[in-house]
């Protein structure tokens, strides 16, 4: 459930986000965080937590 802030708080939050969009270090960090989350989700799909990806790779080399 989302809740709305009062208009003044929303305006402050919007101004903060506008500043962050122009901050190269913030954007680079955000992209890195997104990539890490996506990589983790992809690796979970491969079963890498249980060594599934490594195991399949080793089997392919045989």
String of DSSP letters for 8-24:
HHHHHHHHHHHHHHT-H
Q: pLDDT value at position 4?
A: 74
The pTM of the full predicted model, rounded to 2 decimals, is: 0.53
- Extents of the domains making up the chain: 7-61
The rounded average pLDDT for each run of 10 residues, N- to C-terminus, in the chain (62 residues) is: 77 94 95 92 69 56 62
- CA distance linking residue 22 with residue 30, whole number of Å: 12
């Amino acid at each position: 459930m989302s809740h709305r802030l009062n208009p003044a708080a929303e305006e402050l939050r919007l101004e903060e986000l506008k500043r962050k969009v122009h901050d190269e270090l913030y954007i680079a960090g955000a992209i890195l965080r997104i990539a890490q989350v996506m990589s983790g989700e992809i690796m979970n799909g491969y079963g890498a937590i249980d060594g599934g990806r490594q195991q399949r790779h080793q089997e392919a080399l045989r």
